[in-house]
Amino acid sequence: MSEIRFDGQVAIVTGAGTGLGRSHALGLAKRGAKVVINDLGVSRDGSGSSSEAAEAVVAEIEAMGGDAMAHGCDVSDEDGVIDMVQQAVATWGRVDIVVNNAGILRDKTFGKMSMADFRKVVDVHLIGSANVAHACWPIMREQKYGRIVFTSSASGLYGNFGQSNYGAAKAAMMGLMNVLHLEGARDNIRVNTLAPTAATRMTEELLPAEAAALLAPETITPGLLYLVSEDAPSRVILGAGAGSFAVTKVHETLGITLMDDENTPETVAARFAEIASTEGQEELTDAFSQTKKYAQNAARARGLK
């Protein structure tokens, strides 16, 4: 297997001042990429701002002979993101890789959460990721090359008490990935999602010291580097942490087809175990394949096919 390298490539990593983003940025730079270190330098809940952390990562990359520039835009501010992408292109001529990683937390149970806190978290994670992907999209299409990663979370894929805003935003990464995967394929743009679990300031009160020692961000970055490499897969949700890697997939069960005279809530209830049975389940490639499956089932049940 040949070494994965990024020589001559330009990457943008959001939230790269600390934690996972910093580790990803250093990993890309070590393997030859020029990296935009985006970070607003906020606290865990998104308050304040500082350019210090991003500048420190730029200095680290430069000290090892690499190329990096800091940009302190708020990813949820579309104009700031456009300016960042323009600066990357003006300096280095292209953008090959986008790692959407910036994030904040505003945890509260749903009943106690203000809609302002709900919206803020969705703005940073979902709108922020869309802003960066959108600003880079025409560049990637034009150069017929692009690798985009969204950062999801087990909270979005499986749920986590007290994180309705974060869970919704993180689940949205999968929806955005699915569509950009389909739309980007013809221009060699591959789109994936990382679902990390790491010891960072985001999780510092949650993890016992022994677990934290195993869950260093650097254990996740090799998976990220594969997802943005030339031979990357596309539409993959890669779970990663402490050296474990696993893929999350969405399947639809085979299900059942009811004729009109039996299509009642009572029949759905009575046959729900069959509807939910995982035997013969499949991964659907796009939304229309579901419509096609149901229409074909109905036609077959009526003896039309």
**Half-sphere exposure (Cβ direction) of 301: Cα atoms closer than 13 Å:** 14
Binding residue for ligand NAD (CB under 6 A) from 28, 88, 122, 128?
128
Secondary structure letter of residue 252 according to DSSP = B
Smallest distance, ligand NAD to C-beta of residue 59, A: 16
Smallest distance, ligand NAD to C-beta of residue 29, A: 17
Binding residue for ligand NAD (CB under 6 A) from 10, 13, 33, 42?
42
Is 145 assigned a catalytic role?
A: no
Strand order in the sheet with 97-100: 68-71, 34-38, 10-13, 97-100, 146-151, 189-196, 237-241, 244-248
- By CB under 6 A, residue 197 contacts ligand NAD: yes
Of the pair 32, 41, the CB lying nearest ligand NAD is at 41
Of the pair 73, 232, the CB lying nearest ligand NAD is at 73
Binding residue for ligand NAD (CB under 6 A) from 28, 36, 46, 172?
46
Q: Which residues of 72-84 are buried (b: 16+ CB within 10 A; e: fewer)?
A: bbbbbbbebbeeb
First to last CA, the chain: 48
Site string for ligand NAD, 9-38 (x = CB under 6 A): -----xx-xxxxx----------------x
Binding residue for ligand NAD (CB under 6 A) from 12, 25, 35, 103?
103
Q: What is each CA distance from 175 to 39, 134, 206, 235, in whole angstroms?
A: 25, 15, 28, 10
Smallest distance, ligand NAD to C-beta of residue 15, A: 3
Tell me the two tokens of residue 75.
Answer: 């990813």
Of the pair 104, 232, the CB lying nearest ligand NAD is at 104
Binding residue for ligand NAD (CB under 6 A) from 27, 29, 101, 139?
101
Instruction: Select the span of 91-99, 178-186, 193-201, 227-235 touching ligand NAD (CB under 6 A).
Output: 193-201
CB 53, CB 20: distance < 8 Å:
no
Distance of CA 17 to the CA centre of its chain: 18
**DSSP notation for 86-142:** HHHHHHHS---EEEE-------B-GGG--HHHHHHHHIIIIIHHHHHHHHHHHHHHH
Largest interatomic CA distance in the chain: 74
- By CB under 6 A, residue 164 contacts ligand NAD: no
Of the pair 37, 145, the CB lying nearest ligand NAD is at 37
CB 94, CB 139: distance < 8 Å:
yes
Tell me the two tokens of residue 72.
Answer: 């302190």
- By CB under 6 A, residue 172 contacts ligand NAD: no
Distance CA 149, CA 234 (A): 10
- By CB under 6 A, residue 167 contacts ligand NAD: no
Which position among 158, 166, 226, 294 bears the catalytic label? 166
What type of residue is 175? G
| Binding residues among 200-239 for ligand NAD as defined by CB under 6 A | 200-203
Of the pair 135, 145, the CB lying nearest ligand NAD is at 135
Q: Which residues are catalytic?
A: 166
Q: Which residues bind ligand NAD (CB under 6 A)?
A: 14-15, 17-21, 38-42, 44, 46, 53, 74-76, 101-104, 124, 128, 151, 153, 196-198, 200-203
